[in-house]
Amino acid sequence: MEILIISIIKSLALIVILLTGFAYLTYYERKLLARFHVRLGPNRAGPRGLLQPIADAVKAIFKEEIVPDHVDKPVYLLAPALALIPALVAFAVIPVAPAMTLFGRTIDFAVADINVALLYVVAITSVGTYGVILGGWSSNNNYSLLGALRTASQMISYELPLGILLAAIVLSTNIGREMGTLSLHEIVLQDRPWWLWLWLWLAFPVFFIGVLAESNRSPFDLPETENELIAGFQIEYGGIKFALFFMAEYIHMITGSALMATLFFGGWRGPFVVPGTWHGALIGFGWLFIKILALLFLFIWVRASVPRVRYDQLLHFCWKFLTPLSIAYLVITAVIVVFAG
Amino acid sequence: MALLLFLALALVALLAAVGMVTSRNAVHSALFMLVNFAVYAIFYIMLNAQFLGVVQVIVYAGAIVVLFLFVVMLIGGEIGAVRSSLRRYTYAAALILGALFVAMIGLGIAQTISTDQTVAGAPAAGGVEAIGMALFTTYLLPFELASLLLLAGMVGGVARRYKALDED
């Protein structure tokens, strides 16, 4: 019973933090894009436009709810929720700070520390594609359907290099240990030799491209290209239902950044973190936060500077370049593990 | 508590299965199947087989049903398209296959009861370590053969496609 209550509190905290994070990520992105474009960005609501996300939220909530006549109603209404929920749930296994002891009990800063955490993230994010696919189909609109089909093929394709690279990372957890692990908690705690860090960072660009494609971010936002598909799967959505799709994309970005920070950059680890103490937990969380912000900056930087690719280029790039590359990486990692582990 | 949860989930799985068969819309059928698979994943987790549960989601929900949806959407699963092309032998075939299925399940249940296997009493038998150990030691040959078969199927699919292109 106590576990249940603690889990509910942790989950609520996670949802509140992620939704706030989403709101201010839109602000962060708009401000940064404005800097890249040499303009001001939102600056009317509140000091420096800081209240802009709240104004946007209020606007989205109070917009009239419109359900077009020609849609498949149950699926149409289900799709935004199906997009958002996996995005929120995937974050549950990421350790955000070292455990601390307070009033004689150990507090663990992950909603769930499960031993197959990495696979769990893969599973949940692969379910997230349903929101987009079903949203596009149920809208009963040719442009939406094209967007949905593009999503399906894009997701299936880019899951391959991502999955293979994840396999390589899991393999590398064998180094210096008796047995590898799939637990993100243990991956963060693992002491990697310096050459292993370098080797893993080699995989980071490929992994990052994969995450860009999986979260439908520019330059891979083919499912919603406004100039050929007039927003693709979300044409028929408005108001809060559109906002839910929007939220899902941004929370995917946050989760993806947190995952990459955990796998490639040591998660909450950093100088001045003393595990087990309250200030250690706080500083650890601070480090993870900074790493996530830096990675999100990368997402936005790419969006501001790289033009969108063509659809066939997107798939060719994945199947003929990224996939063979990641397979080679996996093979070399296996050799390294055999000789070094 | 666990039994109640199981019964509730089993009901959901059954309803989803019925919905999948009776639904007139191919996309709705696929979605009902998705619910059914998701419930199976929860069953695995309840049996302490977290690895199997997660893999169930990755393989079935993440790949197979997405592929189904992709094909259905490509070849026309338009909203409102009701197909009433009940062929002549459908009912007979359904009856025979259904009877066979019930017999198979009955046999399985009878065997399980007579040998008194308690699955839930095996902790971590579905964990990553246990499954990995079993796959790469005891069952290495069948495992590798299965992967070879999958690879052959994949290569075969690509090869057929190129042959069809050549003939055009």
Contact B128 A116 (CB under 8 A): yes
User: CB neighbours of A276 closer than 8 A, spacing ≥ 6?
Assistant: A98, A99, A100, A101
pTM for the model stands at: 0.82
Query: CA of A1: which chain B residue's CA is closest?
Result: B1
Is the CA virtual torsion A183, A184, A186, A192 positive or negative?
A: positive
Position A129: which residue type?
T
More reliable by pLDDT, A177 or A104: A177
- Alpha carbons A86 and B19: distance in angstroms, whole number: 24
- Alpha carbons A190 and B8: distance in angstroms, whole number: 41
pLDDT tens digits, one per residue of A105-142: 666 777 777 778 888 888 888 888 888 888 888 887 78
**Tens digit of pLDDT at every position of chain B (168 positions):** 778 888 888 999 989 988 888 887 778 888 888 889 889 888 888 887 788 888 888 888 878 888 888 777 777 655 544 455 556 677 788 889 999 999 999 998 888 777 655 554 455 566 777 888 888 888 899 999 999 999 999 899 888 888 777 766
> A52-62 and A2-36 are packed helices; what angle lies between their axes, rounded to 10 degrees?
110
Q: What is the mean pLDDT of residues A42-55?
A: 83
Q: Phi, psi at residue A108, to the nearest 5°?
A: -100, 125
Distance from CA of B168 to the nearest CA of A (A): 22
User: CB neighbours of A246 closer than 8 A, spacing ≥ 6?
Assistant: A26
A156 touches chain B (CB under 8 A): yes
Among the residue ranges A119-123, A199-203, A222-226, A268-272, the one predicted with the least confidence is A222-226
pLDDT at A301 over 80: yes
Mean residue pLDDT across chain A? 83
More reliable by pLDDT, A78 or B88: A78
CA distances from B20 to A110, A341, B23, B26 (A): 37, 49, 5, 9
Contact A71 B28 (CB under 8 A): no
Which of A75, A123, A182 has its CB closest to that of B62? A123
User: CB neighbours of A175 closer than 8 A, spacing ≥ 6?
Assistant: A192, A193, A196, A336, A337, A340, A341
Position A326: which residue type?
S
Distance from CA of B123 to the nearest CA of A (A): 14
Contact B127 A115 (CB under 8 A): yes
Question: Quick one: how far is CA A284 from the chain centroid?
Answer: 20
Residues A175-205: b if buried by 16+ CB within 10 A, e if exposed: beeeebbbbbbbbbebebeeebeebbeebee
Contact B54 A119 (CB under 8 A): yes
Distance from CA of A325 to the nearest CA of B (A): 19
Chain position carrying tokens 């929920």:
A85
Which residues on chain A are in Cβ contact (under 8 Å) with B25?
72
Domain boundaries, chain A: 66-340
CA distances from A18 to A11, A15, A88, A170, B162 (A): 10, 5, 7, 27, 47
- Alpha carbons A225 and A246: distance in angstroms, whole number: 14
Contact A119 B27 (CB under 8 A): no
Q: What is the pLDDT of residue A286?
A: 86
pLDDT at A59 over 70: yes
- Alpha carbons A187 and B70: distance in angstroms, whole number: 36
Which of A70, A119, A130 has its CB closest to that of B58? A119
Q: What is the pLDDT of residue A104?
A: 64
Which residues on chain A are in Cβ contact (under 8 Å) with B54?
116, 119-120, 122-123
**Could you report the predicted ipTM of this complex, rounded to two decimals?**
0.75
CB atoms within 10 A of CB A300: 21
Which residues on chain B are in Cβ contact (under 8 Å) with A152?
66-67, 69-70, 73
Does residue A175 contact residue A192 with C-beta atoms inside 8 Å?
A: yes
Q: DSSP state, A276?
A: B
User: CB neighbours of B142 closer than 8 A, spacing ≥ 6?
Assistant: none
More reliable by pLDDT, A18 or A2: A18
CA nearest B77: which of B35, B36, B29? B29
Q: Which fold has domain B9-79?
A: Four Helix Bundle (Hemerythrin (Met), subunit A) (1.20.120)
Q: What is the pLDDT of residue A198?
A: 87
Strands (E), A150-285: none
CA distances from A264 to A129, A205, A249 (A): 25, 11, 22
A116 touches chain B (CB under 8 A): yes
Q: What is the pLDDT of residue B152?
A: 94
Contact A130 B34 (CB under 8 A): yes
- Alpha carbons A221 and B152: distance in angstroms, whole number: 34
Q: What is the pLDDT of residue B100?
A: 94
CA nearest B65: which of B20, B21, B22, B34? B34
CA distances from A274 to A99, A108, A263, A303, B143 (A): 10, 14, 20, 37, 45
pLDDT at A77 over 70: yes
List all residues of chain A from 170 to 229 with a beta carbon under 8 Å from chain B: 179, 182
Query: CA of B74: which chain A residue's CA is closest?
Result: A149
Contact A119 B67 (CB under 8 A): no
Q: What is the pLDDT of residue B160?
A: 85
A108 touches chain B (CB under 8 A): no
Structure-block tokens of residue B165: 């292109």
Which residues on chain A are in Cβ contact (under 8 Å) with B58?
119, 122-123, 126
Which of B58, B73, B78 has its CB closest to that of A126? B58
Mutate one of B69, B131, B154 to test the A interface: name it (highest A CB count within 10 A): B69
Q: What is the pLDDT of residue B153?
A: 92
Does residue A14 contact residue A96 with C-beta atoms inside 8 Å?
A: no
pLDDT at A156 over 70: yes
Mutate one of B24, B31, B40, B54 to test the A interface: name it (highest A CB count within 10 A): B54
A145 touches chain B (CB under 8 A): yes
Query: CA of A116: which chain B residue's CA is closest?
Result: B51
Which of B50, B58, B70 has its CB closest to that of A114? B50
Which of A119, A137, A152 has its CB closest to that of B55? A119
Residues constituting chain B: 168
Q: What is the pLDDT of residue B121?
A: 46
Please, is A15 exposed, middle or buried when counting C-beta atoms within 10 Å of its C-beta (0-12, 13-18, 19+)?
A: middle
pLDDT at A330 over 70: yes
